[in-house]
Amino acid sequence: MTNTVPEINSPTGATESSATPATITFADFGLDPKIQKAVSEQGYNTPTPIQAQSIPHVLAGSDLMGAAQTGTGKTAAFVLPIIQKILRHASSSASPARHPIRALVLTPTRELAVQVAENAASYSKHTDLRAAVVYGGVDMKEQVATLRGGVEILIATPGRLLDHIGSKVANLSQVEILVLDEADRMLDMGFLPDLQRIIDLIPAQRQTLLFSATFSPEIKKLAQSYLRTPVTVEVARQNAAADTVKQVVHMVSSADKQRAIVKVLEARTRQGLSRQCIIFTNSRLGCARLARSLERDGIKAGAIHGDKSQGERTLTLDAFKSGAIEALVATDVAARGLDIPSMPCVINHELPFNAEDFIHRIGRTGRAGSKGDAIALVDASEKRLLDDIEKLMKRKLDIQPLPEGSPSSAPSRSSSRSDAPAKMSDPFFYKPYEPSAATKPSSETANPEEKKVGITPARPAVGALLGGFKKK
């Protein structure tokens, strides 16, 4: 099949493009009508800058290094041309031998793998191509059955793919296109040895696409090892947030941050804005605690972090996407790769220790041209982190007071729990202990001093812990 490659106004290897040429549409790429139909059904007509610059080069068979701000449509930039290029292999045959793996997409996280797989399934639904996803944290049986049935497009996390390779379920000998998605993240997570093992199993005569948030020295070294004279496409600087994101900083003490979140969401309700938001924390424990506390404050919240099983994470994400959960409290495991369209608001409960992670976090909102709010709650101890973020972004962030005054005007949950019984479904949980009538006399007789205020009963002898009291 001959692909028609439109002329792009940006030169090969351009470092930045602020806008998509108005004359370019998806129809200009010469995509098969089946693919074009799927794109139209998704409601897309005009490509984003990363798509406009990347798709023609991928269709032409070039290796590519792409740097794009999160939420810019990067996934479709490689999924669409991949489907186009391997469409000649599509077969309606039920034989697994007619459906070998032709394209392999490696991702650092399960969430990102699922997102890419959903895109591949959507854009290939009118073809006979098969797409599948494999990742860790779930039973392998279903994945094994799918792989044995044959797939042309496989999306995988490195560790789980190696498991299937070791079980001789996945064969990479006919891979024509390799994609390393969010390669910087994979290096950060220590996947380089796994990547090397996987790439060694793929034919040398292949097309390789590498996408990364930045072109760090490590990424350039990786590209030098595995890409052949790649085209470089960079449409957005890593230190730039989308223009559609309104950023606000609230200076709040650490103890008042939870109440500040409640105030922010209440203010959004009064303004007629959506309460749905992603709230980022730095630790798994803090993530779980904050979600539970927000629930007690009447906010429908759920948590997603590394200690959650894949099943739990999937259920929580589904509930969030359906609107059953308003606030998704997350660690940075969710900072990249989650495909949640039109996310109205992102709240940083804590600033990340790495300034670039702040960009990734707020990139969850204001995606693909939609407007969004990014709110950061900053206490005095985080001032240095805020300075680092402002230095990276080369701008001062707008510091504003909390809506309806300071949260300190009302006691925070960390210092007062007087309203807890009213918030809980079972007030009995918070009732003080009162001995029953049957036990009260005996306890009073046995330990009358325990009824005295400020008197602590004596601890039992050590012998009690070692096997009982010594007989007198």
Q: What is the pLDDT of residues 7-56, one digit of tens each?
A: 333 333 434 344 444 478 898 999 999 999 999 988 888 898 899 999 99
Indicate the pLDDT class of residue 242, thresholds 50, 70 and 90: low
Model confidence pLDDT, tens digit, residues 291-306: 999 999 999 999 988 7
Q: Over range 69-92, report the average pLDDT.
A: 89
Domain 26-234 CATH (choose: 3.30.572.10, 3.30.950.10, 3.40.50.300, 3.30.420.40): 3.40.50.300
DSSP string, 362-381: HTTSSGGG--EEEEEEE-GG
**67 and 41 Cβ atoms separated by less than 8 Å:** no
Enumerate the β-bridge partners of residue 373.
246, 345
Model confidence pLDDT, tens digit, residues 407-460: 433 334 343 333 333 344 444 444 455 555 444 444 444 444 444 444 444 555
Q: Is the pLDDT of residue 464 over 90?
A: no
SS3 helix, strand, coil % of the chain, rounded to 5? 40, 15, 45
Q: Is the pLDDT of residue 405 over 50?
A: no
Q: What is the mean pLDDT of the chain?
A: 81
Model confidence pLDDT, tens digit, residues 152-171: 999 999 999 999 999 999 99
Nearest 10 degrees: Cα torsion 78, 44, 370, 342: -80
Round to whole Å and give the CA distance between 292 and 252: 20
Q: Is the pLDDT of residue 149 over 80?
A: yes
Which token pair is 297? 């404050």
Of residues 110 and 68, more confidently modeled: 110
Specify the range with the lowest mean pLDDT, choosing from 190-204, 271-285, 308-322. Answer: 308-322
Indicate the helix (H) or strand (E) that contains 57: helix 49-59
Looking at CATH, the fold of the domain delimited by 245-418 is given as: Rossmann fold (3.40.50)
How many Cβ atoms sit within 10 Å of the Cβ of residue 395?
A: 13
Q: Is the pLDDT of residue 335 over 80?
A: no
Q: Which of 120, 95, 126 is nearest to 107 (CA)?
A: 120
**198 and 172 Cβ atoms separated by less than 8 Å:** yes
Which token pair is 373? 């709010």
The structure's pTM equals 0.61
Domain range list for the chain = 26-234, 245-418
Angle at 225 between CA 182 and CA 179, to 5 degrees: 35
Q: What is the pLDDT of residue 406?
A: 42
**CB-count exposure of residue 50 (10 Å: 0-12, 13-18, 19+):** buried
Q: What is the pLDDT of residue 253?
A: 94
* C-alpha distance across the termini of the chain, in Å: 98
Q: What is the pLDDT of residue 308?
A: 79
Q: What is the pLDDT of residue 306?
A: 73
Question: Is 245-418 the same fold as 26-234?
Answer: yes
